[in-house]
């Protein structure tokens, strides 16, 4: 289990943009280890801690990001726009620009929670912070664009910022991902769990509580800024079959049968599960081994990621409690 001894508490404001998502909620809880003042910003923010300051804003509207950032020492950009490439192309560049400008104006540090879509598809078998950036998808092109905006502001405008990257998610209270929708949900209703392309290909998954804790730690570590970090992820990638077998065992099932989704099946499946329409361009992450290397983080902070066995056990317990 991820654990790190934290610093002395601050009385400075730390603000989460996109606070209602899975990472935002975990992050809000973890930030109380570092400060007594946490501001949650989203369209309909909900308190995580008793003392949270809530600010209801649509961050796509002019002036809203500036208002959200004002008075903050650290700003965490963890917004999760709808998983549609046209939505990302429309909203992400403008939001990043507004966030950079607001952080510069108010002298706030910026922590950007990112994914791995910008990396070259021929390097997913060993992804490090130095892997080539050459996105093979439209969604990846958006991520490259906004990451470069941030890094350029760091290099040329004096912005204090860092990028924290995660592999695909799994974890308790994580609803809109394929592990929950295609594996957990199917097993609990007696259907075959589904997997993309092949059950024998290895894939890394980041446990959401680890991601939230690590993001809070990075934001409160002065020498972490000016860098890209991979968030702590189990250094033993598992195959789809291994992952599903571990999930099934938590429900008392042995040797579960799988349904494998080839790439050609995704568009028609999208008629019933809309997110599947967005998946064909991302299949390069599932048709070859995908290993997310977070050894830079674990080496710097001396922590290890939660094991798949422990993370899956906790995730399944949380899912059963809500079923």
How would residue 323 be classed by pLDDT, with cut points 50, 70 and 90?
A: low
Please check whether residue 48 lies inside any domain of the structure.
Answer: yes
Please tell me the distance from the alpha carbon of residue 208 to that of residue 178, in angstroms, as a whole number: 14
Please check whether residue 257 lies inside any domain of the structure.
Answer: no
Please check whether residue 196 lies inside any domain of the structure.
Answer: no
Please check whether residue 244 lies inside any domain of the structure.
Answer: no
The sign of the torsion formed by the CA atoms of 261, 262, 264, 266 equals positive
pLDDT tens profile 93-148: 999 999 999 999 999 999 999 999 999 999 999 999 999 999 999 999 999 999 99
CB-based contact 116:63 (threshold 8 Å): no
CB-based contact 22:210 (threshold 8 Å): no
Check residue 86 and give its pLDDT: 96
Please check whether residue 23 lies inside any domain of the structure.
Answer: yes
Percent above pLDDT 70 for the chain: 98
Q: Tokens 């007594």 sit at which residue?
A: 36
Check residue 1 and give its pLDDT: 55
pLDDT tens profile 26-83: 999 999 999 999 999 999 999 999 999 999 999 999 999 999 999 999 999 999 999 9
Please check whether residue 239 lies inside any domain of the structure.
Answer: no
Q: How many CB atoms lie within 10 A of CB 123?
A: 14
Question: What is the tally of structural domains in the chain?
Answer: 1
Give me the domain span that covers residue 115: 13-171+206-234+292-306
3-class secondary structure per residue, the chain: CCCCCCCCCECCEEEEECCCCHHHHHHHHHHCCCECCEEEEECCCCCCCCCCEEEECCCCCCCHHHHHHCCEEEEEECCCCCCCHHHHHHHHHHHHHHHHHHHHHHCCEEEEEECCCCECHHHHHHECCCCCECCCCHHHHHHHHHHHHHHHHHHHHCCCEEEEECCEEECCCCCCCHHHHHHHHHHHCCCCCEEECCCCCEECEEEHHHHHHHHHHHHCCHHHCCCEEECCCCCCCEEHHHHHHHHHHHCCCCCCCCEEECHHHHHHHCCCCHHHHHCHHHHHHCCCCECECCHHHHHHHCCCCCCHHHHHHHHHHHHHHHC
Please check whether residue 285 lies inside any domain of the structure.
Answer: no
Please check whether residue 180 lies inside any domain of the structure.
Answer: no
Check residue 6 and give its pLDDT: 56
CB-based contact 191:149 (threshold 8 Å): no
Please tell me the distance from the alpha carbon of residue 22 to that of residue 67, in angstroms, as a whole number: 23
For residue 34, give the CATH number of its domain. 3.40.50.720
pLDDT tens profile 261-320: 988 888 888 888 788 889 999 999 999 999 999 999 999 999 999 999 999 999 999 988
């Amino acid at each position: 289990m991820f654990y790190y001894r934290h610093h002395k508490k601050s009385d400075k404001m730390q603000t989460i943009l996109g606070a209602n998502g899975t990472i935002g909620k975990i992050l809000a809880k973890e930030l109380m280890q570092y400060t007594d003042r946490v501001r949650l910003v989203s369209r309909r923010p909900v308190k995580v801690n008793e003392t949270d300051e809530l600010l209801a804003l649509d961050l796509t509207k002019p002036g809203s990001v500036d208002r959200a950032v004002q008075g903050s020492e650290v700003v965490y950009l963890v917004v999760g726009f709808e998983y549609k490439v046209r939505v990302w192309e429309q909203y992400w560049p403008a939001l990043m620009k507004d966030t950079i400008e607001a952080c510069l104006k108010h002298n706030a540090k910026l922590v950007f929670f990112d994914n791995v879509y910008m990396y070259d598809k021929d390097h997913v078998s060993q992804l490090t912070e130095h892997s080539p950036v050459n996105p093979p998808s439209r969604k990846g092109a958006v991520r490259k664009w906004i990451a470069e905006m941030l890094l350029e502001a760091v290099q040329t405008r004096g912005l204090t910022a860092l990028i924290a990257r995660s592999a695909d998610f799994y974890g308790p209270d994580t609803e809109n991902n394929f592990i929950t929708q295609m594996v957990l949900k199917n097993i609990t209703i007696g259907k075959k769990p589904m997997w993309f392309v092949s059950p024998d290909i290895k894939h890394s998954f980041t446990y959401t509580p680890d991601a939230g804790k690590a993001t809070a730690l990075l934001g409160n570590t002065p020498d972490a800024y000016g860098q890209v970090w991979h968030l702590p992820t189990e250094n033993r990638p598992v195959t789809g079959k291994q992952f599903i077998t571990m999930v099934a065992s938590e429900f008392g099932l042995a040797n579960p049968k799988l349904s494998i989704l080839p790439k050609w099946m995704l568009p028609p499946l999208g008629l019933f599960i809309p997110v599947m329409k967005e998946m064909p361009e991302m299949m390069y992450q599932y048709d070859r081994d995908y290993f997310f290397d977070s050894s830079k983080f674990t080496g710097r902070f001396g922590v290890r990621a939660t094991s798949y066995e422990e993370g899956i056990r906790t995730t399944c317990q949380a899912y059963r409690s809500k079923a």
